[in-house]
Amino acid sequence: MILLSPNPTCILTLKPLNPPISKSKPPTIFCKSEFKSERGLEFDVGDTFFRHESATGRDLGVLAASLHKKHNNKHLKVLDAMCGCGIRSLRYLVESNADFVLANDADDVHRRVVLSNLSKRVSRIEDGGNGRRRWVVTNDDANRVMMECCLKRDYFDFIDIDSFGSDSSFLRSAFGAVRFGGLLYVTSTDGYTSGGHRPLHSLSSYGAYIRPMPYCNELGLRMLIGGAIREAAVLGYYVTPLFSYYSYHGPVFRVLLRVDRGKLPISRHYNFIRHCTECGNSEAISWDKLGQLNCPCNSNVLGSLVVSGPLWTGPLHSESYLKEMLNLAEEWGWIGNNTGKDLEKLLKYMIDESDPQLPFGYIKLDEVSSRGKINSPSLRSMLSSLQKNGYSASRSHIESNAIKTNCPMSMCVVIAKELQAC
């Protein structure tokens, strides 16, 4: 009897239900290989879940891991908690020059593919005869792996958790397994929750009640950071976001956090966000001001004030860190000379977003044109005019037709009307 798996690249051949005793054989599995290449590294996807579109997120992780090793001038020990086919683990070994990588995936069916991908390019035992292992493949629940590492005091410098959905249960065990000063690269793919459509789900997963707001995809990043802050505070740690990356496919929310000892003051960047649907402005609300919610526009429209939180309201990126990543990408030849334009554009947008004068959220130009009853202005001319008028403004890497600015919505409309009159 032949059964076709849900993935057509894999065929399972099983013995008959009542075979002759002399001819009985154990089940055999034949999986066709599917080879791909990323940054010059060839690997087998097999029947694992793989997205080519996630290559940019992997690029950012590799750059960050390499910088961490450079900054600390010591061994780089990486845990790829949900490694899939193992391409991230392979890239950390080859490109970030990690001294050791633990590649784990809960599905032991993927073990053959991961072992093959790693062993073809990197020797399991370090050259030189000291017997030190370069990598190990395990097949267990990610939480269990990280908790066991914590109990053994076997800490990692860099932990990559490429999880699915909004399962935040990995955060606390990851904090137990990462070294102080180390990095956590965490993930959420739940755009429905970040859009405010399941507030009770966001509350249970990240401790934040999320309502629909115009910049929902940025809220997804801030929700993820806020959840990490909450879990870190329980253990007496605090986290600092070094970069926050949104990609529309999935969608995918990825945040790199540096973990240190000590608690972040609850009043600093861990607050609520108030948005007024009438005037279009938003504001951070501290915990002690929750009973005094109002909007300067004094709108009397019922339900015009929408509140989400608590979540991270501070900077999404570290400008100096992103500049180092940009320089390293150029040094490696990933950008420049008409190559890597998308990665270069992304990093430069994120650097612009790091301006401390810029508040959370972004303003879509379609909303500006709708409120002003005019045609939508070009993004470039709008940015130029805002800056000429003394406001801080930048593009958003999250939304292509949106700007981040400290200019109120009403003034954005005025400036857009002036541009149309020219």
DSSP sequence for 123-148: -SB-TTSS--BSEEEE-S-HHHHHHH
* Contact present, 375 and 410 (Cβ < 8 Å): no
Q: Please report the pLDDT score of residue 8 as a whole number.
A: 39
* Contact present, 110 and 88 (Cβ < 8 Å): no
The CA-atom distances, in angstroms, between 241 and each of 93, 190, 416 are 24, 20, 33
Q: Please report the pLDDT score of residue 403 as a whole number.
A: 97
pLDDT in tens, the chain (422 residues): 333 333 434 433 333 444 444 445 555 444 557 899 999 999 999 989 889 999 999 999 999 999 999 998 788 999 999 999 999 999 999 999 999 999 999 999 999 999 999 999 999 998 765 778 999 999 999 999 999 999 999 999 999 999 988 878 999 999 999 999 999 999 999 999 999 999 999 999 999 999 999 999 999 999 999 999 999 999 999 899 999 999 998 899 999 999 999 876 656 799 999 999 999 999 999 998 888 888 888 777 777 899 999 999 999 999 999 999 999 999 999 998 888 899 999 999 999 999 999 999 999 999 999 999 999 999 999 999 999 999 999 999 999 999 999 999 999 999 999 998 87
Q: Please report the pLDDT score of residue 127 as a whole number.
A: 75
The sign of the CA dihedral 292, 295, 301, 302 is negative
Residue 143 bridge partners (DSSP): none
Q: Please report the pLDDT score of residue 15 as a whole number.
A: 38
Q: Please report the pLDDT score of residue 267 as a whole number.
A: 60
Nearest to 257 by CA among 203, 352, 353, 186: 186
Q: Please report the pLDDT score of residue 266 as a whole number.
A: 55
- Residues with Cβ within 8 Å of 129's Cβ and at least 6 positions away in sequence, in order, are none
Evaluate the omega torsion of the peptide bond into residue 296 and state whether it is cis, within 30 degrees of 0: no
Q: Which residue spans within 41-188 are E strands per DSSP? A: 41-44, 77-80, 100-104, 135-138, 156-160, 178-188
* Contact present, 259 and 200 (Cβ < 8 Å): no
* CA separation for the pair 133, 128 (Å, rounded): 11
* CA separation for the pair 75, 183 (Å, rounded): 14
Q: What is the pTM of this model?
A: 0.90
* CA separation for the pair 275, 273 (Å, rounded): 7
Q: Please report the pLDDT score of residue 32 as a whole number.
A: 57
